[in-house]
Structure 1
Amino acid sequence: MKRIKITDEVKGTFKNNWNFCVGTERMGIALQKEYLDTLEFVRKAINFKYIRGHGLLHDDTAIYREYEIGGEIKPFYNFTYIDRIFDSFLERGLKPFVELGFMPSKLASGDQTVFYWKGNVTPPKDYDKWKGLIQALVNHFIDRYGIEEVLQWPFEVWNEPNLDIFWKDADKAEYFKLYRVTAFAIKEIHKGLQVGGPAICGGADHWIEDFLRFCHKETVPVDFVSRHLYSSKQPKLQTHELVYQDLAEPEDMLKELKAVRELINASPFPGLPFHITEYNTSYTPLNPVHDTCLNAAYLARIISEAGDIVDSFSYWTFSDVFEELDVPRAQFHGGFGLVALNNIPKPTYHMFSFFEKMGRYILYRDESMLVTRKSDQTVTITAWNPEMTKGEDFSKDISIELVLQDGEYFIKRNTVNEQYGNPWHAWIQMGRPRFPVKKAVETLREIARPRVDYDKLSCTGNKLLLELTLSKNEVTFLEISRIKEESETYYRLDDSMIPGY
């Protein structure tokens, strides 16, 4: 049994960098009702501040068009859809973390595309027209939402240009040209607008070094560095519907973040803000691990610690309303989302909601637990027990001694594990219905709720003892609040008079 003694000494501050931003499928899909319903559901439980996704300039948002007028081809900028989309974000308390991409077909220099929805990944054929598009877009945002609002929006140039599937030939020099033109176009409008990149995937951090050297040498504006982070290894088995991968250990993700932070601090721009604009376990939306309790327990440590290293890290994504590799073919299909189709929350959603309830002041933290105190003196604990080994017998016993004022305390515990709050497992037991009927959907939503336990414990000698058992891949949340006893205010209170009590 693991034994922990937790005093009332504050060890640090739990930073809310973990809920700064969340990822989304392309902008155009934000016009769907289920997407917006899920966004509303997630936003009520988890206080994400920003939202980031692909496809802002893709043809389905219709921002960039060209028409022949008087024998001359001229751009036309259409903001009908993007206004509707950004309005829906802001109405729900979310600001855009603006990813500038992909290339409108009329402006593209080639026909290479990515994803089911065919995002064009080639450079602009006319950089003057690209500059005009960027400035028209940013000026429109300012006109519609005001400069004070738009000054809060980071503008990220492109997505993973180090991969040839996202940027033709992974041409670094061409990306630097795109970045230069874009950064200056934005800064010409207002020098306070934030612009950054290079939004690379992991394993190519030399791009960040070269990018920052380029910006310094060429005096190109850069306000933040962005990067992505996934921990899955190469596929063990891959079909047209599912991908199976092993995962590195969670601490490997933290080591990667520390290495990049050190790289930035050693660059000509030490201390530059560092944003992880995508992260998850697997990088494919066909990996069933995303639907599991392991995904939640695995990432809990990242949420607990990564905020001390990066300025933000954005979970990819909030919803399984997502079409990169075609329209989803089943209720559970390995999608990235915190919430599955039909608005069914996954275990990782609940893990996020647990951290949302944590306090600001850290009393204790290790690789499997975070203990905090709120300003009202309530103590909160989130603990997790990830286990990637096959088998059942991986429970963990923990004895926690808390230093508190003497008195009575109410303990509430929410639990997600293989048995509770695990709709994916229930769906398997149902026979894996691809398109479940309404009754089955309601059952899955009911099963998706965490288990709730409660107790009343006494603290004597300033010591309150908690005994916890965490099952395999469990994430649990405890709230410990002092009881203000009011039983004596009731006239002639006698519970023994209640039949059967």
Structure 2
Amino acid sequence: MTELAGGTDTHIDRARQRWAELMGAGGVQDRAGGPVAAADLPVPACLSAASGRGQVTLTWDPVPGAIGYAVHRAPAEDGPFELVDHGGGDVLAVPHGAYADTTAEPGKEYWYAVAPLATVNAMGPLSAPVPARPTVDGPATVDVTVDAGGDAGPLHRPWRRVVGSEHLSHLLCADLTGGQPIGADLRAALRRVRDELGVESVRAHGILCDDLGVYRNVDGVSRFDFSGVDRVYDTVMDLGMRPVVELSFMPRDLARDPDKTVFAYRGCISPPSDWDRWGELVGALTAHLVERYGLAEVRDHWPFEVWNEANLSVFWSGTPDEFWRLYEVSARAVKLVDSGIQVGGPASAAVGWIDDQLATAAPLDFLSTHTYGSPPLDLRPLAAAAGRPDLPLLWTEWGVTASHGSTINDTVFAATFLLRGMRSVAGRVDGLAPWVASDHFEELGRPERLLHGGFGLLTVGNLAKPKYWALALAERLGDVELPAVSRGDGADGLVECWAARRADGTVGVLLWNGTLDHGKASGDSTLDRDVTVTITGLPVERYTLRHLRVDATHGNVAETWRALGGEEWPDDDQWAVLGEADQIPLLEPDRDVTVRGGGVEVTLDLPMPSISYLELRPI
């Protein structure tokens, strides 16, 4: 046997090299670069690999100081160990166990090891390896027990804090896409996520872009005009929401390299030609917002985020040092208006530059970053190590993929992904922003057809995709989280449960079956599970049981559109049919159930991917 737990084995070096290839030049994070450092973290203990039908579920003890874990797999005990690639891109790490590996070949033996991460560029030692063999068949059952009389604390709904959107001048656009007026449709989308999902704020790029005319250099004199910003932010406020003020992109008259742009709307990604004038612009904008909307409103509810993903050269044509200068100038300009206004960053891609941000001497009121394809990592150890254990954490972009036009965005798979991430971060972040609210999105051009693989929770025309219904079901849960224990084949790694109680005694149990493996996005019958839910501690004798479902044929607008023979855009009759189908359907009629021995037992099939919501209302 080759020892893998000491930090010097060649397999660890290979693991770090592979991680560097993923995170370094040519990868998604093209500013990380260099070798991956050896993190001074303990070896993960008590790694367990439970074989099941079509999958292996891994669990391990948390490592103090780790922000996440890189799961490795090998064909033999002595390696070679490679990262388990579930196809999500970005950062192939998870914040904790359980992790269900569904990429392995059933019937074949594998060896698994887990390495902790101190940052995305610092990896600790691999654990001692353990064997497992995913099976071809088997019972594939999961038992879930929910204590309806328990109290696991207030239910945290991370999606309420903020949602992403296309640049907000789009709210004012009178053009049509698919026959729908863009501005009105986007406004309706934001109103719907506010009313139905409880979302409070919206984040978007480009508030300083030239389409809003905020800055001009006239004969060497800076001229500010915030009337366009007013129209946009007035609209946001009228919708009952607030903005996250992302300070981007650079006005052309202030840009050192005005021809360096991104997206179809040509957002300028250049550093400023004059740093003092950039500071004046940020300060003038901040002062104007305070004057228009009130100091208490802006100070307490409008976080200012500096730029977007400057660790990607596609978003920042300057050097890293120039970005940190941009951050400092911006943050200090905001604070000169009022020291209590929140400012933060680095709004980085792939969890990059977090340690750099924490090391800066500039004002910092919150950390923000982005990731795609995996649940967000746990940044609390980094904040604590910097002496800021209570620093708010905002993930201002997150989703199943960072790829524009990927069909996975429109699937039930994406819906289970959203629930996995939201449950993972509940209680440890201040907000997790799905990217984005609406398919009215034109970074790489406007949609050419309905369900084109856009990032939106809602389609053009504001039809709910499965991932919208996932959050709508989570929003239905009560305010008191209930203890829930799952056991069986894929429990917690494949099949998860989130339960809560309302003030009137209604109990909601949200169940989903999902994997992070993009190769299984269309489903895999070997991963379907039979689930038995036992709800104990019920105080009254009779309840009405409601069972709502999202799966391939329920709550799936793509399936409805296919049944209509849809190709590009609906006609009037098809829009009407789609509108009538825009609801979460019952899987079965409501029925009354009688409590026996203080509990109720419900059995259901749970395909992968799918979501079930059980609601018990006291009679």
Q: Does 1:100 align with 2:239?
A: no
Counterparts in 2 of 1:73-472, with a 5 A limit?
73-110=220-257, 111-151=259-299, 152-169=301-318, 171-202=319-350, 204=352, 207-215=353-361, 220-231=362-373, 252-254=374-376, 257-258=377-378, 260-365=379-484, 367=492, 368-387=496-515, 388=517, 389=520, 390-392=523-525, 394-403=527-536, 404-452=538-586, 453=588, 454-472=590-608
The separation in 1 between residues aligned to 2:235 and 2:266, in whole angstroms, is: 24
Aligned residues of 1:23 and 1:318 also touching (Cα < 8 A)? yes
Report deviation, 1:304: 1.6
How many Å separate the matches in 1 of 2:508 and 2:608? Answer: 21
1:313-354 deviation line (CA, Å, top 9, x unaligned): 111000000000111111111101000011111011111111
TM-score, normalized by length of structure 2? 0.70
Amino acid at match of 2:206: G
Note the alpha carbon deviations across 1:423-461, whole angstroms, 9 max, x for none. 112323444421221211222233342212411101122
Shift of residue 56 of structure 1?
A: 0.6
Counterpart of 2:137? none
Contact 1:123 1:168 survives alignment (8 Å): yes
Change (3 A) 1:448 1:472: farther
SS of the residue aligned with 2:297? Answer: helix
Residue 554 of structure 2 aligns to a residue whose secondary structure is coil
Q: Please give the alpha-carbon distance, in whole angstroms, between the structure 2 residues aligned to 1:41 and 1:311.
A: 22
3-state SS in 2 of match to 1:75: strand
Q: Structure 2: where are the runs of 5+ without partners?
A: 1-140, 173-182, 487-491
Contact kept, 8 Å, 1:273 with 1:310, in 2: the verdict is yes
- The Cα offsets for residues 272-331 of structure 1, whole Å up to 9 and x where unpaired, read as 111100000101221111101110012211112212221211110000000001111111
Q: Residue type matched to 1:375 in 2?
A: A
Does the 8 A contact of 1:202 with 1:229 survive in 2? Answer: yes
Hey, what's the Cα distance between the residues in 1 that align with 2:382 and 2:399? 22
Moved more, 12-21 or 427-436: 427-436
What's 2:208 paired with? 57
Question: Once the 2 structures are TM-superposed, how far is the Cα of residue 5 of structure 1 from its aligned partner?
Answer: 2.6
Deviations 1:87-118 (A, max 9, x none): 12112221111100000111111020000111
Describe how 1:30-49 pairs up with structure 2 within 5 A: 30-31=171-172, 32-49=183-200
Contact residue 18 and residue 307 of structure 1 kept, 8 A: no
Taking the aligned partners of 1:309 and 1:327, their CA distance within structure 2 comes to 36
C-alpha distance in 1 between matches for 2:144 and 2:525: 25
SS of residue in 2 equivalent to 1:39: helix
Does the Cα contact within 8 Å between 1:198 and 1:208 map onto a contact in 2?
yes
Q: Deviations over 1:54-106 (max 9, x none)?
A: 01101112212233xxxx43222222222121112112221111100000111
Q: Which amino acid is 1:47 matched to? A: G
How many residues end up aligned between the 2 structures?
A: 449
3-state SS of 2:546 partner? strand
> Per the alignment, in what secondary structure is the counterpart of residue 97 of structure 1?
strand
**Do 1:22 and 1:316's aligned partners in 2 also have CA atoms closer than 8 Å?**
yes
Higher mean C-alpha deviation, range 4-13 or range 174-183: 4-13
For residue 203 of structure 1, report the CA deviation from its aligned partner. 5.3
Q: Which residue of 2 aligns with 1:496?
A: none
Shift of 1:17: 2.5
Q: Give the 3-state SS of the residue equivalent to 2:447 in structure 1.
A: coil
The answer to whether the 8 Å contact 1:131/1:185 transfers is yes
Shift of 1:392: 3.9
Post-superposition shift, 1:213? 1.3
Work out the CA distance in 1 between the residues paired with 2:231 and 2:142. Answer: 53
Distance 1:95 1:79 in 2: 17
- Hey, what's the Cα distance between the residues in 2 that align with 1:81 and 1:413? 47
> Could you tell me whether the CA contact under 8 Å between 2:375 and 2:424 is conserved in 1?
no
The alignment partner of 2:375 has SS state of helix
Equivalent residue, structure 1, for 2:615 = 479
Distance 2:570 2:144 in 1: 45
Moved more, 42-51 or 362-371: 362-371
On the 8 A contact 1:406/1:463 being kept in 2, the answer is no
Partner residue, 1:493: none
- Could you tell me which amino acid in structure 2 is paired with residue 117 of structure 1? Y
Match of 1:490 in 2: none
Query: What SS class does the counterpart of residue 124 from structure 1 fall into?
Result: coil
Report what 1:492 is aligned to: none
Aligned-partner residue type, residue 465 of structure 2: K
Supply the distance in 1 between the matched residues of 2:601 and 2:559 (Cα, whole angstroms): 33
Partner deviation per Cα, 1:125-168 (whole Å, 9 max, x = no partner):
01111111111111111111100100121100000000000001
* CA deviations over 1:370-414 (Å, ceiling 9, x no partner): 011122221111111125535445432221222212411011222
Secondary structure of the equivalent of 1:340?
Answer: coil
Q: Distance in 2 between matches of 1:395 and 1:90?
A: 44
